[in-house]
Amino acid sequence: MKPREIIPDVLAVGAQDFDRRLFDALIPLPDGTSYNSYLVRGRDKTALIDTVEPAMLHVLEAYLKDVTRVDYLISNHTEQDHSGSIPWALERYPGAQLLCSEPAKPMLVDHLGLDAAKVQTVADGEKLNLGGKTLRFIYTPWVHWPETMSTYLEEDKVLFSCDWFGSHMAATDLFVDGVDCILAEAKRYYAEIMMPFRKIVQKNLDKIGDLDIRLIAPSHGPIHRDPRSIILAYRDWTDDKPHNSVVIPWVTMHGSTAILVERLVNALSERGVTVFPFNMATADIGQLAMSLVDAATVIVGAPTVHVGPHPTVLNAVVLANALRPKVRFASVVGSYGWASKMVDVIKGAMPNLKVELLTPVICKGMPKPSDLVAIDKLADTVAAKHRELGLI
Ligand code: FEO
């Protein structure tokens, strides 16, 4: 296996993981993922930017078989899918200096069991001259851990961004060219790990706003040859204004909640609102997360189980609460057999969402005509709220 040049003296040496189907025992990976690692060769010194998930170390080893000297190991991000093979790299290249941001140092020591004396920090904005290749380190915190930084190659205008601008996608092509779905893949990834830090991502976008960037080389997924398009997409995803859409995570047991949800989906779409319903019994939570990026409203559809909401739907509420989307309105529709406290439980499970709660529609047993009228009124209210925000 030979490393491939992305530009002269900058080589891709990472691993494509076509078979991985789950990340963090949580995130579905329909298209696998990659752990991108880059070798930058200057006239005098060589740097390796990030490593790979230890399970794919054999790929990195093969690419670096003939690379006898690395002077610097640069860790943009401590999470193990990028840092996990650093201990191997330090053994392979005992003369190499490990460089990271200041907040990353204790994290590398804790997560990898490294000797602190082997870890050298770089300041925000500090430069490293490799000889005709100058690396500038730019702190970009919370994309998506507090210690993350990006590395900018000044002469070639390449931004090595690690997770942000990345996508969980394994591909044989190094570049985005021809990958039509890349913005969807990148949005999915943003939703899953960066959306909770939307405001800080906005600041990071401002921070790199003046950089002249020719290529964005993330640590997952293909390289962007059109940085503007992915940066503009990030601007939209992090913008404060939501879109005219409603996300409905729901599940049904005996069909009552399904009737309410079907009526609601139709009523909202008749009023010009885009709806993304997700039956949580089978839904891909990555798709749910993507839809939450833009949604103005989330409406939970749940039957009652032992007085509380069905746990499968409650999981979706817990996830939405953790992802902190920019939703403005929320409600609950659902059913119960003899008693229910699920609205209170659902409200209590989403303290991070700064939403106005719209009147819930909860029916006993199968929905009656009056319940369906209440659903239509809820749709009226949602449409009116969206109109007030200028979304319709
Ligand atoms: Fe790809 Fe946050 O690690």
Give per-residue pLDDT as tens, 8-53. Answer: 999 999 999 999 999 988 899 999 999 999 999 999 999 999 999 9
The whole model's pTM is what?
Answer: 0.96
For ligand 1, whether the C-beta of 17 sits within 6 Å is no
CA dihedral 65, 121, 148, 80 (to 10 degrees): 40
CA 81 to centroid of ligand 1, rounded, Å: 6
For ligand 1, whether the C-beta of 168 sits within 6 Å is no
Banded model confidence at residue 181, pLDDT cuts 50, 70, 90: confident
Question: Stretch 289-300: mean pLDDT, rounded?
Answer: 98
Atom of ligand 1 nearest to the CA of 162: 1
For ligand 1, whether the C-beta of 220 sits within 6 Å is yes
Residue 1 confidence (pLDDT): 82
Residue ID of nearest Cα to ligand 1 atom 1: 163
Residue 177 confidence (pLDDT): 79
For ligand 1, whether the C-beta of 79 sits within 6 Å is yes
pLDDT-above-70 percentage for the chain:
99
For ligand 1, whether the C-beta of 31 sits within 6 Å is no
- Percent helix, percent strand, percent coil in the chain, to nearest 5: 35, 25, 40
Question: Stretch 277-291: mean pLDDT, rounded?
Answer: 97
Atom of ligand 1 nearest to the CA of 148: 2
C-beta of residue 340 within 8 angstroms of C-beta of residue 304: yes
Atom of ligand 1 nearest to the CA of 144: 2
Question: Stretch 151-172: mean pLDDT, rounded?
Answer: 97
Look at residue 242 and tell me whether its pLDDT is greater than 70. Answer: yes
Look at residue 178 and tell me whether its pLDDT is greater than 70. Answer: no
Alpha-carbon gap, residue 165 to 160, rounded angstroms? 10
Atom of ligand 1 nearest to the CA of 220: 1
**Number of residues that this document lists for the chain:** 392
Question: Stretch 202-222: mean pLDDT, rounded?
Answer: 97
What residue type is 336 in one-letter code?
Answer: Y
For ligand 1, whether the C-beta of 82 sits within 6 Å is yes
Across the chain, what does the average pLDDT equal?
96
Residue 176 confidence (pLDDT): 86
Look at residue 289 and tell me whether its pLDDT is greater than 80. Answer: yes
